[in-house]
Chain A
Amino acid sequence: MSPFCESVPSTFVNLCQYGPPIIDGAIITIEVAFLSLLLSVMLGLLGASAKLSSNLILKGIATTYTTLIRGVPDLVLMMLIFFGGQMAMNNLSDWLYDTYEWEIFFNINEFFAGVVTIGFIFGAYMAETFRGAFQAVENGQIEAGKAYGMTPWQIFIRIMFPQMMRHALPGIGNNWLVLLKTTALVSVIGLSDMVRLASEASKAVHEPFMFFIPVAMAYLVLTSLSEWMLNKLERKYSAGIHRGAT
Protein backbone atom coordinates (compact mmCIF):
# COMPACT_ATOMS: atom_id res chain seq x y z
CA MET A 1 0.00 0.00 0.00
CA SER A 2 1.33 3.39 -0.93
CA PRO A 3 1.89 5.99 1.79
CA PHE A 4 -0.94 8.02 0.29
CA CYS A 5 -3.34 5.17 0.90
CA GLU A 6 -2.39 5.00 4.56
CA SER A 7 -3.05 8.68 5.05
CA VAL A 8 -6.58 8.78 3.66
CA PRO A 9 -9.63 8.12 5.86
CA SER A 10 -10.57 4.48 6.22
CA THR A 11 -13.72 4.66 4.07
CA PHE A 12 -11.58 5.50 1.07
CA VAL A 13 -8.88 2.95 1.71
CA ASN A 14 -10.56 0.17 -0.19
CA LEU A 15 -11.03 2.30 -3.23
CA CYS A 16 -7.41 3.36 -2.88
CA GLN A 17 -6.31 -0.27 -2.88
CA TYR A 18 -8.61 -1.44 -5.62
CA GLY A 19 -8.64 1.79 -7.61
CA PRO A 20 -5.47 1.30 -9.71
CA PRO A 21 -6.46 -2.22 -10.86
CA ILE A 22 -9.85 -0.85 -11.85
CA ILE A 23 -8.13 1.78 -13.98
CA ASP A 24 -6.18 -1.02 -15.68
CA GLY A 25 -9.54 -2.67 -16.23
CA ALA A 26 -10.85 0.51 -17.82
CA ILE A 27 -7.95 0.40 -20.28
CA ILE A 28 -8.87 -3.19 -21.17
CA THR A 29 -12.48 -2.09 -21.69
CA ILE A 30 -11.36 0.65 -24.06
CA GLU A 31 -9.04 -1.71 -25.94
CA VAL A 32 -11.79 -4.28 -26.39
CA ALA A 33 -14.17 -1.56 -27.55
CA PHE A 34 -11.81 -0.08 -30.14
CA LEU A 35 -10.56 -3.38 -31.53
CA SER A 36 -14.07 -4.74 -31.88
CA LEU A 37 -15.19 -1.48 -33.49
CA LEU A 38 -12.43 -1.90 -36.06
CA LEU A 39 -13.44 -5.50 -36.74
CA SER A 40 -17.13 -4.61 -36.91
CA VAL A 41 -16.54 -1.79 -39.40
CA MET A 42 -14.54 -4.10 -41.65
CA LEU A 43 -17.16 -6.85 -41.40
CA GLY A 44 -19.87 -4.24 -41.90
CA LEU A 45 -18.31 -2.91 -45.10
CA LEU A 46 -17.85 -6.46 -46.38
CA GLY A 47 -21.39 -7.40 -45.40
CA ALA A 48 -22.88 -4.31 -47.01
CA SER A 49 -20.95 -4.89 -50.25
CA ALA A 50 -22.09 -8.51 -50.27
CA LYS A 51 -25.70 -7.50 -49.68
CA LEU A 52 -25.59 -4.99 -52.52
CA SER A 53 -23.71 -7.27 -54.91
CA SER A 54 -25.47 -9.13 -57.70
CA ASN A 55 -23.93 -12.44 -56.64
CA LEU A 56 -26.80 -14.41 -55.10
CA ILE A 57 -24.55 -16.64 -52.96
CA LEU A 58 -22.75 -13.68 -51.37
CA LYS A 59 -26.08 -11.95 -50.86
CA GLY A 60 -27.50 -15.04 -49.20
CA ILE A 61 -24.54 -15.42 -46.86
CA ALA A 62 -24.64 -11.76 -45.85
CA THR A 63 -28.40 -11.77 -45.28
CA THR A 64 -28.21 -14.92 -43.17
CA TYR A 65 -25.36 -13.40 -41.16
CA THR A 66 -27.15 -10.12 -40.40
CA THR A 67 -30.50 -11.79 -39.67
CA LEU A 68 -29.18 -14.53 -37.42
CA ILE A 69 -26.82 -12.33 -35.44
CA ARG A 70 -29.36 -9.62 -34.82
CA GLY A 71 -31.90 -12.15 -33.55
CA VAL A 72 -29.77 -13.71 -30.81
CA PRO A 73 -28.65 -12.09 -27.51
CA ASP A 74 -25.02 -10.96 -27.35
CA LEU A 75 -24.37 -12.96 -24.20
CA VAL A 76 -25.50 -16.24 -25.79
CA LEU A 77 -23.31 -15.60 -28.86
CA MET A 78 -20.40 -14.69 -26.64
CA MET A 79 -20.69 -17.93 -24.68
CA LEU A 80 -21.13 -19.91 -27.86
CA ILE A 81 -17.96 -18.46 -29.36
CA PHE A 82 -15.94 -18.59 -26.16
CA PHE A 83 -16.90 -22.06 -24.91
CA GLY A 84 -17.67 -23.52 -28.32
CA GLY A 85 -14.58 -21.98 -29.90
CA GLN A 86 -12.40 -23.54 -27.24
CA MET A 87 -13.92 -26.93 -27.86
CA ALA A 88 -13.53 -26.57 -31.62
CA MET A 89 -9.87 -25.63 -31.12
CA ASN A 90 -9.33 -28.64 -28.86
CA ASN A 91 -10.90 -30.91 -31.47
CA LEU A 92 -8.70 -29.31 -34.12
CA SER A 93 -5.53 -29.96 -32.13
CA ASP A 94 -6.64 -33.56 -31.48
CA TRP A 95 -7.23 -34.02 -35.16
CA LEU A 96 -3.89 -32.49 -36.07
CA TYR A 97 -2.19 -34.79 -33.60
CA ASP A 98 -4.00 -37.88 -34.85
CA THR A 99 -3.39 -37.23 -38.54
CA TYR A 100 -0.05 -35.45 -38.66
CA GLU A 101 1.28 -36.00 -35.12
CA TRP A 102 1.63 -32.27 -34.72
CA GLU A 103 1.46 -31.16 -31.16
CA ILE A 104 -0.12 -27.75 -31.30
CA PHE A 105 -2.45 -26.46 -28.66
CA PHE A 106 -4.65 -23.51 -29.38
CA ASN A 107 -5.95 -21.54 -26.47
CA ILE A 108 -8.73 -19.04 -26.89
CA ASN A 109 -8.18 -16.30 -24.38
CA GLU A 110 -10.96 -14.12 -23.05
CA PHE A 111 -9.64 -10.99 -24.70
CA PHE A 112 -9.59 -12.56 -28.14
CA ALA A 113 -13.00 -14.17 -27.67
CA GLY A 114 -14.46 -10.88 -26.45
CA VAL A 115 -13.11 -8.83 -29.33
CA VAL A 116 -14.08 -11.40 -31.96
CA THR A 117 -17.58 -11.86 -30.58
CA ILE A 118 -18.39 -8.19 -30.16
CA GLY A 119 -16.84 -7.38 -33.54
CA PHE A 120 -18.79 -10.20 -35.14
CA ILE A 121 -22.09 -9.13 -33.56
CA PHE A 122 -21.75 -5.45 -34.37
CA GLY A 123 -20.49 -6.25 -37.86
CA ALA A 124 -24.08 -7.34 -38.57
CA TYR A 125 -25.50 -4.05 -37.32
CA MET A 126 -22.82 -2.09 -39.19
CA ALA A 127 -23.61 -3.98 -42.40
CA GLU A 128 -27.21 -2.77 -42.19
CA THR A 129 -26.07 0.79 -41.50
CA PHE A 130 -23.60 0.81 -44.40
CA ARG A 131 -26.06 -0.80 -46.77
CA GLY A 132 -28.55 2.00 -46.18
CA ALA A 133 -25.82 4.60 -46.49
CA PHE A 134 -24.46 3.23 -49.78
CA GLN A 135 -27.95 3.22 -51.21
CA ALA A 136 -28.41 6.83 -50.17
CA VAL A 137 -25.61 7.98 -52.49
CA GLU A 138 -27.20 9.01 -55.77
CA ASN A 139 -26.52 6.85 -58.76
CA GLY A 140 -25.82 9.92 -60.90
CA GLN A 141 -22.76 10.69 -58.78
CA ILE A 142 -21.28 7.28 -59.53
CA GLU A 143 -22.09 7.65 -63.21
CA ALA A 144 -20.37 11.04 -63.18
CA GLY A 145 -17.31 9.39 -61.64
CA LYS A 146 -17.32 6.77 -64.36
CA ALA A 147 -17.68 9.47 -67.00
CA TYR A 148 -14.49 11.05 -65.66
CA GLY A 149 -12.73 7.75 -66.24
CA MET A 150 -12.19 6.95 -62.55
CA THR A 151 -11.39 3.38 -61.55
CA PRO A 152 -13.90 1.63 -59.24
CA TRP A 153 -11.48 2.14 -56.33
CA GLN A 154 -11.20 5.87 -57.06
CA ILE A 155 -14.98 6.11 -57.25
CA PHE A 156 -15.23 4.40 -53.88
CA ILE A 157 -12.60 6.56 -52.16
CA ARG A 158 -13.42 9.93 -53.73
CA ILE A 159 -17.17 9.79 -54.27
CA MET A 160 -18.88 6.96 -52.43
CA PHE A 161 -17.03 6.98 -49.14
CA PRO A 162 -17.21 10.68 -48.19
CA GLN A 163 -20.91 10.90 -49.02
CA MET A 164 -21.75 7.52 -47.58
CA MET A 165 -20.13 8.52 -44.27
CA ARG A 166 -22.56 11.41 -43.87
CA HIS A 167 -25.50 9.03 -44.02
CA ALA A 168 -23.77 6.30 -42.05
CA LEU A 169 -22.42 8.36 -39.17
CA PRO A 170 -25.60 8.60 -37.06
CA GLY A 171 -25.99 4.82 -37.37
CA ILE A 172 -22.32 4.14 -36.66
CA GLY A 173 -22.53 6.43 -33.64
CA ASN A 174 -25.52 4.57 -32.28
CA ASN A 175 -23.84 1.21 -32.84
CA TRP A 176 -20.70 2.45 -31.12
CA LEU A 177 -22.62 3.59 -28.03
CA VAL A 178 -24.35 0.21 -27.78
CA LEU A 179 -21.03 -1.59 -28.43
CA LEU A 180 -19.33 0.33 -25.65
CA LYS A 181 -21.96 -0.82 -23.17
CA THR A 182 -21.84 -4.36 -24.52
CA THR A 183 -18.15 -4.60 -23.58
CA ALA A 184 -19.34 -4.97 -19.97
CA LEU A 185 -20.43 -8.49 -20.92
CA VAL A 186 -16.85 -9.68 -21.48
CA SER A 187 -16.57 -9.70 -17.68
CA VAL A 188 -19.02 -12.61 -17.67
CA ILE A 189 -16.70 -14.85 -19.69
CA GLY A 190 -13.83 -13.96 -17.39
CA LEU A 191 -11.91 -11.07 -18.91
CA SER A 192 -10.58 -8.76 -16.22
CA ASP A 193 -12.19 -5.59 -17.50
CA MET A 194 -13.30 -2.90 -15.08
CA VAL A 195 -16.71 -4.47 -14.48
CA ARG A 196 -15.20 -7.77 -13.38
CA LEU A 197 -12.60 -6.10 -11.17
CA ALA A 198 -15.28 -3.94 -9.60
CA SER A 199 -17.52 -6.92 -8.91
CA GLU A 200 -14.63 -8.90 -7.40
CA ALA A 201 -13.59 -5.97 -5.24
CA SER A 202 -17.13 -5.34 -4.07
CA LYS A 203 -17.65 -8.99 -3.21
CA ALA A 204 -14.42 -8.97 -1.21
CA VAL A 205 -15.32 -5.99 0.96
CA HIS A 206 -19.13 -5.98 0.68
CA GLU A 207 -19.26 -2.43 -0.61
CA PRO A 208 -20.98 -2.64 -4.00
CA PHE A 209 -21.57 1.08 -4.50
CA MET A 210 -17.99 2.08 -3.76
CA PHE A 211 -16.79 0.22 -6.84
CA PHE A 212 -19.73 0.21 -9.18
CA ILE A 213 -20.40 3.94 -8.99
CA PRO A 214 -16.90 4.85 -10.27
CA VAL A 215 -17.23 2.24 -13.02
CA ALA A 216 -20.66 3.54 -13.99
CA MET A 217 -19.20 7.06 -14.05
CA ALA A 218 -16.39 5.85 -16.30
CA TYR A 219 -18.97 4.49 -18.74
CA LEU A 220 -20.92 7.77 -18.56
CA VAL A 221 -17.75 9.72 -19.34
CA LEU A 222 -16.94 7.42 -22.26
CA THR A 223 -20.45 7.65 -23.72
CA SER A 224 -20.61 11.43 -23.25
CA LEU A 225 -17.19 11.90 -24.85
CA SER A 226 -18.23 9.69 -27.75
CA GLU A 227 -21.43 11.66 -28.27
CA TRP A 228 -19.46 14.89 -28.35
CA MET A 229 -16.93 13.48 -30.84
CA LEU A 230 -19.68 12.06 -33.04
CA ASN A 231 -21.37 15.45 -33.15
CA LYS A 232 -18.12 17.01 -34.37
CA LEU A 233 -17.64 14.29 -36.98
CA GLU A 234 -21.21 14.63 -38.20
CA ARG A 235 -20.62 18.33 -38.65
CA LYS A 236 -17.46 17.62 -40.62
CA TYR A 237 -19.09 15.14 -42.97
CA SER A 238 -22.17 17.33 -43.42
CA ALA A 239 -20.09 20.19 -44.82
CA GLY A 240 -21.96 21.78 -47.70
CA ILE A 241 -25.33 20.35 -46.69
CA HIS A 242 -28.03 22.85 -45.84
CA ARG A 243 -29.36 22.26 -42.36
CA GLY A 244 -32.99 22.74 -41.48
CA ALA A 245 -34.05 25.97 -39.84
CA THR A 246 -33.47 24.68 -36.33
Chain B
Amino acid sequence: MEWLNALLAQNDIFNATTLAHYWSGFVTTVQLVFVSLLIGLIIAVPLGILRSSKNPWISRPIWLYVYIFRGTPLLIQLYMIYYGVTLINGIQESIFWPIFQDAFYPCLIAFVLNTAAYTAEIIRGAIATTPRGEIEAAKAYGMSRALMMRRIILPSAFRRALPAYANEVILMVHASSIASVVTIVDLTGAARDIYARFYAPFEAFIFVAGIYLCITFLLIYSFRKLENRLLAHLKPLS
Protein backbone atom coordinates (compact mmCIF):
# COMPACT_ATOMS: atom_id res chain seq x y z
CA MET B 1 0.00 0.00 0.00
CA GLU B 2 2.88 2.32 0.84
CA TRP B 3 4.41 2.19 -2.58
CA LEU B 4 1.01 2.57 -4.22
CA ASN B 5 0.33 5.73 -2.25
CA ALA B 6 3.80 7.01 -3.05
CA LEU B 7 3.21 6.29 -6.72
CA LEU B 8 -0.16 7.99 -6.71
CA ALA B 9 1.20 11.02 -4.88
CA GLN B 10 3.47 11.81 -7.82
CA ASN B 11 0.68 12.80 -10.15
CA ASP B 12 -2.64 14.60 -10.13
CA ILE B 13 -4.43 12.35 -12.58
CA PHE B 14 -4.27 8.83 -11.24
CA ASN B 15 -5.82 9.18 -7.80
CA ALA B 16 -8.30 6.86 -6.11
CA THR B 17 -11.31 8.55 -7.74
CA THR B 18 -10.10 8.25 -11.31
CA LEU B 19 -8.84 4.71 -10.78
CA ALA B 20 -12.29 3.79 -9.47
CA HIS B 21 -13.76 5.41 -12.59
CA TYR B 22 -11.48 3.30 -14.79
CA TRP B 23 -12.42 0.22 -12.80
CA SER B 24 -16.16 0.77 -13.30
CA GLY B 25 -15.44 1.32 -16.99
CA PHE B 26 -13.54 -1.94 -17.07
CA VAL B 27 -16.46 -3.77 -15.46
CA THR B 28 -18.88 -2.30 -18.02
CA THR B 29 -16.63 -3.29 -20.92
CA VAL B 30 -16.25 -6.84 -19.63
CA GLN B 31 -20.00 -7.20 -19.03
CA LEU B 32 -20.88 -5.80 -22.41
CA VAL B 33 -18.39 -7.97 -24.30
CA PHE B 34 -19.02 -11.15 -22.35
CA VAL B 35 -22.82 -11.01 -22.51
CA SER B 36 -22.91 -10.04 -26.19
CA LEU B 37 -20.43 -12.78 -27.14
CA LEU B 38 -22.41 -15.36 -25.16
CA ILE B 39 -25.81 -14.47 -26.64
CA GLY B 40 -24.21 -13.94 -30.05
CA LEU B 41 -22.74 -17.43 -29.99
CA ILE B 42 -26.05 -18.98 -28.94
CA ILE B 43 -27.78 -17.29 -31.88
CA ALA B 44 -24.93 -17.91 -34.32
CA VAL B 45 -24.72 -21.70 -33.99
CA PRO B 46 -28.22 -22.45 -35.36
CA LEU B 47 -27.81 -19.68 -37.94
CA GLY B 48 -24.52 -21.14 -39.12
CA ILE B 49 -26.08 -24.60 -39.42
CA LEU B 50 -29.18 -23.32 -41.24
CA ARG B 51 -27.00 -21.17 -43.50
CA SER B 52 -25.40 -24.37 -44.80
CA SER B 53 -28.85 -25.78 -45.62
CA LYS B 54 -29.54 -26.62 -49.26
CA ASN B 55 -32.99 -25.05 -49.11
CA PRO B 56 -32.65 -21.49 -50.47
CA TRP B 57 -35.69 -20.31 -48.46
CA ILE B 58 -33.74 -21.09 -45.31
CA SER B 59 -30.20 -20.17 -46.28
CA ARG B 60 -30.89 -16.99 -48.31
CA PRO B 61 -32.47 -14.89 -45.51
CA ILE B 62 -29.57 -15.79 -43.23
CA TRP B 63 -27.15 -14.88 -46.00
CA LEU B 64 -28.85 -11.48 -46.26
CA TYR B 65 -28.66 -10.89 -42.50
CA VAL B 66 -24.98 -11.80 -42.42
CA TYR B 67 -24.31 -9.72 -45.54
CA ILE B 68 -25.94 -6.60 -44.11
CA PHE B 69 -24.33 -6.82 -40.69
CA ARG B 70 -20.87 -7.62 -42.06
CA GLY B 71 -21.09 -5.01 -44.79
CA THR B 72 -21.94 -1.98 -42.65
CA PRO B 73 -19.99 -0.37 -39.80
CA LEU B 74 -20.94 -1.35 -36.26
CA LEU B 75 -21.23 2.35 -35.43
CA ILE B 76 -24.15 2.75 -37.84
CA GLN B 77 -25.86 -0.36 -36.51
CA LEU B 78 -25.46 1.04 -33.02
CA TYR B 79 -26.84 4.46 -34.01
CA MET B 80 -29.83 2.88 -35.74
CA ILE B 81 -30.72 0.72 -32.75
CA TYR B 82 -29.93 3.38 -30.15
CA TYR B 83 -31.92 6.14 -31.82
CA GLY B 84 -34.40 3.84 -33.54
CA VAL B 85 -35.64 2.06 -30.44
CA THR B 86 -37.18 5.27 -29.11
CA LEU B 87 -39.34 5.46 -32.21
CA ILE B 88 -41.19 2.18 -31.68
CA ASN B 89 -44.82 3.09 -31.10
CA GLY B 90 -45.84 3.00 -27.47
CA ILE B 91 -42.46 1.87 -26.17
CA GLN B 92 -42.22 4.87 -23.88
CA GLU B 93 -45.37 3.71 -22.07
CA SER B 94 -44.53 0.00 -22.07
CA ILE B 95 -42.81 -1.96 -19.35
CA PHE B 96 -39.71 -2.21 -21.52
CA TRP B 97 -39.02 1.51 -21.36
CA PRO B 98 -36.94 1.47 -18.16
CA ILE B 99 -34.70 -1.06 -19.91
CA PHE B 100 -34.32 0.83 -23.17
CA GLN B 101 -34.00 4.21 -21.52
CA ASP B 102 -30.53 3.16 -20.53
CA ALA B 103 -28.00 3.11 -23.36
CA PHE B 104 -26.69 -0.27 -22.21
CA TYR B 105 -29.40 -2.47 -23.73
CA PRO B 106 -29.64 -0.91 -27.19
CA CYS B 107 -25.87 -1.18 -27.27
CA LEU B 108 -26.00 -4.80 -26.19
CA ILE B 109 -28.54 -5.59 -28.93
CA ALA B 110 -26.33 -3.97 -31.58
CA PHE B 111 -23.27 -5.90 -30.38
CA VAL B 112 -25.18 -9.20 -30.21
CA LEU B 113 -26.55 -8.83 -33.75
CA ASN B 114 -23.13 -7.84 -35.07
CA THR B 115 -21.13 -10.61 -33.44
CA ALA B 116 -23.81 -13.20 -34.28
CA ALA B 117 -23.46 -12.33 -37.97
CA TYR B 118 -19.67 -12.67 -37.95
CA THR B 119 -19.78 -15.85 -35.86
CA ALA B 120 -22.46 -17.42 -38.07
CA GLU B 121 -20.19 -16.86 -41.05
CA ILE B 122 -17.25 -18.45 -39.20
CA ILE B 123 -19.37 -21.51 -38.33
CA ARG B 124 -20.69 -21.77 -41.89
CA GLY B 125 -17.13 -21.70 -43.20
CA ALA B 126 -16.06 -24.39 -40.75
CA ILE B 127 -19.02 -26.61 -41.66
CA ALA B 128 -18.31 -26.14 -45.38
CA THR B 129 -14.72 -27.32 -44.97
CA THR B 130 -15.61 -30.58 -43.25
CA PRO B 131 -13.46 -33.28 -44.90
CA ARG B 132 -15.53 -35.27 -47.36
CA GLY B 133 -14.34 -38.58 -45.96
CA GLU B 134 -15.84 -37.85 -42.54
CA ILE B 135 -19.27 -37.25 -44.05
CA GLU B 136 -19.03 -40.33 -46.25
CA ALA B 137 -18.01 -42.44 -43.26
CA ALA B 138 -20.99 -41.11 -41.29
CA LYS B 139 -23.32 -41.92 -44.19
CA ALA B 140 -21.83 -45.38 -44.48
CA TYR B 141 -22.78 -45.95 -40.85
CA GLY B 142 -26.35 -45.07 -41.80
CA MET B 143 -26.50 -41.91 -39.68
CA SER B 144 -29.39 -39.53 -40.22
CA ARG B 145 -28.57 -35.93 -41.11
CA ALA B 146 -29.26 -34.70 -37.59
CA LEU B 147 -27.17 -37.40 -36.00
CA MET B 148 -24.36 -36.76 -38.47
CA MET B 149 -24.50 -33.06 -37.67
CA ARG B 150 -24.40 -33.66 -33.95
CA ARG B 151 -21.77 -36.37 -33.81
CA ILE B 152 -19.52 -35.75 -36.79
CA ILE B 153 -19.83 -32.36 -38.47
CA LEU B 154 -20.27 -29.98 -35.53
CA PRO B 155 -17.56 -31.32 -33.20
CA SER B 156 -14.97 -31.09 -35.95
CA ALA B 157 -16.34 -27.79 -37.28
CA PHE B 158 -16.19 -26.13 -33.86
CA ARG B 159 -12.56 -27.10 -33.52
CA ARG B 160 -11.70 -25.73 -36.92
CA ALA B 161 -13.66 -22.55 -36.14
CA LEU B 162 -11.73 -21.91 -32.93
CA PRO B 163 -8.83 -19.80 -34.30
CA ALA B 164 -11.21 -17.58 -36.29
CA TYR B 165 -13.52 -17.29 -33.30
CA ALA B 166 -10.62 -16.24 -31.08
CA ASN B 167 -10.02 -13.43 -33.56
CA GLU B 168 -13.68 -12.44 -33.41
CA VAL B 169 -13.57 -12.30 -29.60
CA ILE B 170 -10.58 -9.95 -29.71
CA LEU B 171 -12.23 -7.82 -32.39
CA MET B 172 -15.33 -7.61 -30.21
CA VAL B 173 -13.30 -6.36 -27.24
CA HIS B 174 -11.88 -3.66 -29.50
CA ALA B 175 -15.23 -2.86 -31.10
CA SER B 176 -16.82 -2.44 -27.67
CA SER B 177 -14.95 0.87 -27.35
CA ILE B 178 -17.64 2.25 -29.68
CA ALA B 179 -20.10 1.99 -26.79
CA SER B 180 -18.52 5.15 -25.39
CA VAL B 181 -20.04 7.08 -28.31
CA VAL B 182 -23.58 6.55 -26.99
CA THR B 183 -22.85 7.85 -23.48
CA ILE B 184 -21.90 4.48 -21.96
CA VAL B 185 -18.97 4.80 -19.58
CA ASP B 186 -16.94 1.77 -20.58
CA LEU B 187 -13.13 1.75 -20.51
CA THR B 188 -12.91 4.20 -23.41
CA GLY B 189 -15.72 6.29 -21.94
CA ALA B 190 -13.82 6.51 -18.66
CA ALA B 191 -10.69 7.61 -20.53
CA ARG B 192 -12.70 10.28 -22.35
CA ASP B 193 -14.11 11.57 -19.06
CA ILE B 194 -10.69 11.75 -17.50
CA TYR B 195 -9.24 13.41 -20.59
CA ALA B 196 -11.99 16.02 -20.49
CA ARG B 197 -11.52 16.64 -16.78
CA PHE B 198 -7.74 17.00 -16.70
CA TYR B 199 -7.07 17.85 -20.34
CA ALA B 200 -4.41 15.13 -20.29
CA PRO B 201 -4.82 13.08 -23.47
CA PHE B 202 -1.61 11.09 -23.20
CA GLU B 203 -2.10 9.87 -19.64
CA ALA B 204 -5.81 9.15 -20.06
CA PHE B 205 -5.64 7.28 -23.36
CA ILE B 206 -2.27 5.54 -23.02
CA PHE B 207 -3.36 4.11 -19.68
CA VAL B 208 -6.55 2.73 -21.16
CA ALA B 209 -4.67 1.44 -24.23
CA GLY B 210 -2.45 -0.50 -21.82
CA ILE B 211 -5.49 -2.09 -20.21
CA TYR B 212 -6.89 -3.12 -23.60
CA LEU B 213 -3.49 -4.51 -24.51
CA CYS B 214 -3.45 -6.64 -21.36
CA ILE B 215 -6.97 -7.94 -22.09
CA THR B 216 -5.93 -8.77 -25.65
CA PHE B 217 -2.79 -10.62 -24.58
CA LEU B 218 -4.70 -12.54 -21.93
CA LEU B 219 -7.28 -13.62 -24.52
CA ILE B 220 -4.62 -14.61 -27.06
CA TYR B 221 -2.85 -16.65 -24.39
CA SER B 222 -5.99 -18.43 -23.20
CA PHE B 223 -7.19 -19.24 -26.69
CA ARG B 224 -3.76 -20.59 -27.60
CA LYS B 225 -3.92 -22.89 -24.57
CA LEU B 226 -7.40 -24.00 -25.58
CA GLU B 227 -6.32 -24.59 -29.17
CA ASN B 228 -3.36 -26.65 -28.00
CA ARG B 229 -5.74 -28.87 -26.06
CA LEU B 230 -8.56 -29.16 -28.57
CA LEU B 231 -6.57 -29.19 -31.78
CA ALA B 232 -3.76 -31.48 -30.58
CA HIS B 233 -4.75 -34.15 -33.12
CA LEU B 234 -4.39 -31.69 -36.02
CA LYS B 235 -0.83 -30.69 -35.23
CA PRO B 236 2.05 -31.84 -37.42
CA LEU B 237 3.79 -34.83 -35.83
CA SER B 238 7.27 -33.38 -35.75
Contact = CB atoms under 8 A, between A and B. Distances in A.
Contact of A223 (B71, B201, B205): B71
B75 interface: yes
B105 interface: no
A28 interface: no
Q: Which 9 residue pairs spanning A and B have beta carbons closest together?
A: A184-B73, A208-B83, A83-B201, A73-B177, A73-B174, A80-B205, A84-B201, A71-B216, A181-B73
Nearest to A72: B209
Contacts of B208: 76
A72 to B, nearest CB: 4
Interface stretch (B140-148, B151-159, B188-196): B188-196
Output the residue of B70, B74, B76, B209 with the most chain A CB within 10 A: B76
Nearest to B174: A73
B202 A80 contact: yes
Contacts, number: 111
Interface in B53-95: 67-68, 70-77, 79-80, 83-84, 87
A150 interface: no
A234 interface: no
B174 A185 contact: no
Given A68-B213, A72-B213, A83-B205, 18 more contacts: A71-B213, A71-B217, A72-B174, A73-B176, A73-B177, A73-B212, A75-B177, A75-B188, A79-B205, A80-B205, A84-B205, A87-B201, A181-B74, A184-B76, A208-B83, A216-B68, A216-B80, A219-B72
B181 interface: yes
Interface of A: 68, 70-77, 79-80, 83-84, 86-87, 181-185, 187-188, 195, 198-199, 202-203, 206, 208-209, 212-213, 215-216, 219-220, 223-224
A219 B84 contact: no
B206 interface: yes
B175 to A, nearest CB: 7
Contacts of A198: 79
Contacts of B30: none
Contact of A71 (B72, B206, B212): B212
A84 B198 CA distance: 13
Interface in B166-211: 173-178, 180-181, 188, 191-192, 195, 199, 201-202, 205-206, 208-209
